């Protein structure tokens, strides 16, 4: 099979992409016969919503959904769709609130096209926009560090962009920005593995261990941390070097504190809990407060720090929060 044929095969076998295309095709069919039937237009809208649900990376799915929303005259539905697109792009949905009270039906499609042009959903199209522009790369880096990418779709979108950065030799930038993505969605064990492999290749073994440890916590079947330890032991025995040992507790706590610091994007509207009040209540109450505020990732890193410090009951708390992360 040629490379081109392999690519076509991968495309056709991508289940969610195929379903997205199928639902969009159905939406287009209902749209063509909807002139004299409101029912057919509603069927078209339902299929268009399913196309976005199954493949949010295809701009055509968003285009047809917004188009149908406009035809139906659903102003609020159009607004909600655009806000959803902005959310998965990692932008602040509150930007759309500035248009409160304005009927978007006349401008929604132009707003959609503007968003897609400035921030393409396709990672290769995005890379073509920034690859030869150091200023654009720097701006992307600055912006990503301020974005809310806790939405799983946003995390996937930016992970794919970071893959383009890594494959084009920008390893340091890839590592730096990967921390922000993983801090906000720490249950992405595959991303932890990828980052661990890169650190191991760079012989930054303590950092590799931290990443493999996170990968194994979220996906125990991978045994990533244990296999890494075995590789290190065999390497030392084979070359007669100094034995490597896992990072000490203080280093682990430092790593978890740093990840916690990156886990919650800047939220100017949030109500902060005073540190003195948290200290009086204790770390378990602090974790509870974070969970109530929806800061699940931050709560996870705090609970893991507590577990590393030997706090009784912290491991059970970690497992509870991991279940919440999976649901999110």
Where do runs of H (alpha helix) occur along the chain?
3-13, 15-32, 38-54, 59-72, 75-88, 94-97, 108-118, 123-130, 134-144, 152-167, 171-184, 189-201, 205-218, 224-239, 249-263, 275-281, 283-292, 296-308, 314-327
Banded model confidence at residue 219, pLDDT cuts 50, 70, 90: very high
Q: Per-residue b/e over 259-297, b at no fewer than 16 CB within 10 Å?
A: bbebbbbeeeeeeeeeeeeeeeeebeebbeebbebebbb
What is 123-235's CATH superfamily?
A: Tetratricopeptide repeat domain (1.25.40.10)
pLDDT per residue as tens digits for the range 138-167: 999 998 998 888 888 898 899 999 999 999
Task: Say if residues 130 and 137 touch (Cβ distance below 8 Å).
Answer: yes
pLDDT at 326: 86
- Single pTM value for the model: 0.81
What tokens does 250 get?
A: 């203080």
CA torsion sign for 10, 12, 13, 19 is positive
pLDDT at 222: 87
Residue 60 has pLDDT above 80, yes or no: yes
Q: Determine the distance from the C-alpha atom of residue 177 to the mean position of all C-alpha atoms in its chain, rounded to a whole number.
A: 12
pLDDT at 236: 65
Average pLDDT over residues 178-198: 94
Closest CA to 22 of 50, 42, 56: 50
Q: End-to-end CA distance of the chain: give it in Å, rounded.
A: 39
What tokens does 130 get?
A: 């920034």
What tokens does 79 get?
A: 């607004």
pLDDT per residue as tens digits for the range 96-131: 666 666 778 888 998 899 889 988 999 999 999 999
Closest CA to 52 of 19, 98, 92, 83: 19
Tell me the Ramachandran region of residue 121: left when phi exceeds 0, alpha when psi lies from -120 to 50, beta otherwise.
alpha
pLDDT at 297: 95
Neighbours of 164 (CB within 10 A): 17
Q: Per-residue b/e over 204-229, b at no fewer than 16 CB within 10 Å?
A: ebebbbbbbbbbbbbbeebebbeebb
What tokens does 74 get?
A: 């659903």
Task: Say if residues 119 and 89 touch (Cβ distance below 8 Å).
Answer: yes
Neighbours of 237 (CB within 10 A): 10
Across all residues in the chain, what is the average pLDDT?
Answer: 86
pLDDT at 305: 96
Q: 39-48, 88-97, 99-108, 313-322: which has the minimum mean pLDDT?
A: 88-97
pLDDT at 239: 54
Domain boundaries, the chain: 3-118, 123-235, 249-327
């Amino acid at each position: 099979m040629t490379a081109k044929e392999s690519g076509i095969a991968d495309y056709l076998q991508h289940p969610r992409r195929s379903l997205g295309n199928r639902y969009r095709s159905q939406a287009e069919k209902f749209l063509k016969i909807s002139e004299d039937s409101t029912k057919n237009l509603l069927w078209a809208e339902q299929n268009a919503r399913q196309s976005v649900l199954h493949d949010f990376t295809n701009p055509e799915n968003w285009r047809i959904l917004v188009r149908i929303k406009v035809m139906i005259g659903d102003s609020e539905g159009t607004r909600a769709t655009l806000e959803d697109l902005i959310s998965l792009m990692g932008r602040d949905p509150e930007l759309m609130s500035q248009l409160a009270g304005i009927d978007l039906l006349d401008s929604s499609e132009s707003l959609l096209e503007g968003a897609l042009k400035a921030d393409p959903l396709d990672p290769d199209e995005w890379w073509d926009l920034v690859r030869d522009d150091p200023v654009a790369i720097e701006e992307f880096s600055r912006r990503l560090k301020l974005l809310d990418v806790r939405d799983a779709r946003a995390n996937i979108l930016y992970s794919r962009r970071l893959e383009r950065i890594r494959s084009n030799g920008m390893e340091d930038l890839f590592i730096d920005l990967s921390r922000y993505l993983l801090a906000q969605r720490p249950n992405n064990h595959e991303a932890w593995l990828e980052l661990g492999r890169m650190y191991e290749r760079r012989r930054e073994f303590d950092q590799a261990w931290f990443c493999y440890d996170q990968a194994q916590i979220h996906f125990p079947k991978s045994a990533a941390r244990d296999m890494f330890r075995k590789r290190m032991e065999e390497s030392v025995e084979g070359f007669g070097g100094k034995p490597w040992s896992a990072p000490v507790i203080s280093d682990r706590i430092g790593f978890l504190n740093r990840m916690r610091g990156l886990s919650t994007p800047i939220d100017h509207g949030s109500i902060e809990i005073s540190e003195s009040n948290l200290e009086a209540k204790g770390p378990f109450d602090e974790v509870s407060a974070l969970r109530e505020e929806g800061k699940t990732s931050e709560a996870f890193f705090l609970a893991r720090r507590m577990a590393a410090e030997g706090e009784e009951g912290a491991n059970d708390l970690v497992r509870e929060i991991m279940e919440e992360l999976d649901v999110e």
